Amino acid sequence: MEQPIKRIAVFSSGGDAPGMNAAIRAVVRTATYNDLHIYGIYRGYEGMINGEIERLETSHVANIIHRGGTILKTARSEKFRTPEGRKLAYESLVAQDIDACIAIGGNGTFTGAQIFSQEYDIPFIGIPGTIDNDLYGTDFTIGFDTAVNTAVEAVDRIRDTADSHNRLFFIEVMGRHSGYIALYTGIGSGAGFVMLPERETTIQEVIQQLKAGAKRKKLFSLVIVAEGHPLGGAQAIADAINQEFDYYETKVAIIGHLQRGGSPTAQDRVLASQLGYSAVEGLLAGQRNVMVGQVNEDIVFTDFNDSIQQIKVFNPDLLRMAEILGL
């Protein structure tokens, strides 16, 4: 029989995402309610290796639900990729008598958790905290909604300049190899065209769309480009199009890491709270080595292997709608 869980640790890893603090808060308070000892690991797997672990009380998570970033800090660890590094991490957990871990992060974080849990008998539950929204097993990840709202606000401001000067703007948003931020930003900002990694797009297709707008005397245009597009970033695409189409004065804007910071939206705070609470409840109910997510407003648990390897696909109606409304 498995030993009852009495001491758990929580950490954030990889890129920060708005709402991570809300998830940490939910984990700490739910664990405390269930009479568990809860520990925080600072700087992700790197801190786990170095023994940067301390007991958390509810007072440590007071007044953090509205804060961006993560109070536990975050890092990417090359050492943890090695068996020697993972052994040191295990020894740090054993030294604190930690029975289970809750990892807040994305694809890389869960890959590390999966490997570690196969090598050592410490169960993990993952909470999807990444602005990219690229994890299978949840409709939305923590931080995605805030990132989209930040991007839409930025595009709204760029629209004013584009309209005033009759300009064509190529606006690059984050998302790594996922086009979710680009798609939702494109729809939310009323952009004329959206370029996604998941959808093959040629330079000629973009030019054809822009020419159609110019023919209708469209005074300006906005093109949202996902940073992971196979044709390159916004600057490379703008340069390629400028060689064949110069109807508009062309500018490029890269929103960048503005999308990763800032106070989380209410939606991200609620989602983070639900997933943090459910992660602790899931551990106590026997869930092991899974990601907790929300699908159709229901809490679900997905094996790490599936959450990492399964491809999360767009609703095709959203793509079609974006194309029609961008005409």
Mean pLDDT of 195-202: 91
In 227-323 the beta strands, taken as DSSP E runs, fall at 249-254, 290-295, 298-303
Sign (positive/negative) of CA torsion 229, 240, 172, 322?
Answer: negative
- The pLDDT > 70 percentage for the chain reads 99
CA dihedral 124, 130, 136, 138 (to 10 degrees): 90
Is residue 218 over pLDDT 80? no
Q: Are strands 100-105 and 7-12 parallel, antiparallel or unpaired?
A: parallel
The neighbouring-strand residues paired with 293 are: 300
Domains of the chain: 7-143+264-309 (3.40.50.450), 145-261 (3.40.50.460)
Query: Which residues are catalytically annotated?
Result: 132
Q: Are 177 and 231 in contact (CB under 8 A)?
A: no
User: Where is average pLDDT lowest: 87-96, 143-152, 199-208, 251-260?
Assistant: 199-208
**Which residues touch 76 (CB under 8 Å, ≥6 apart)?**
13, 14, 44, 46, 108
The predicted pLDDT at position 2 comes to 62
Q: State the distance between the two ends of the chain, measured CA to CA, in whole angstroms.
A: 62
**Looking at the DSSP assignment, which residues form a beta bridge with residue 301?**
292
pLDDT in tens, 85-132: 999 999 999 999 999 999 999 999 999 999 999 999 899 999 999 999
Locate 278 and state its tokens: 């459910």
* DSSP symbol at 174: -
Q: Which two tokens stand for residue 9?
A: 């640790």
pLDDT of residue 1: 45
**129: number of Cβ within 10 Å:** 34
pLDDT for residue 246: 80
How large is the average pLDDT for residues 265-287? 98
The share of the chain scoring above pLDDT 90, in percent, equals 83
User: Quick one: DSSP state of residue 323?
Assistant: H
CB contact at 8 A, 20 and 11 = no
For the residues 268-273, what does the mean pLDDT come to?
Answer: 98
Q: Is the dihedral of CA 276, 282, 288, 293 positive or negative?
A: negative
Specify the range with the lowest mean pLDDT, choosing from 91-95, 157-161, 300-304, 323-327.
323-327
Is there a contact between 53 and 43 (Cβ–Cβ < 8 Å)?
no
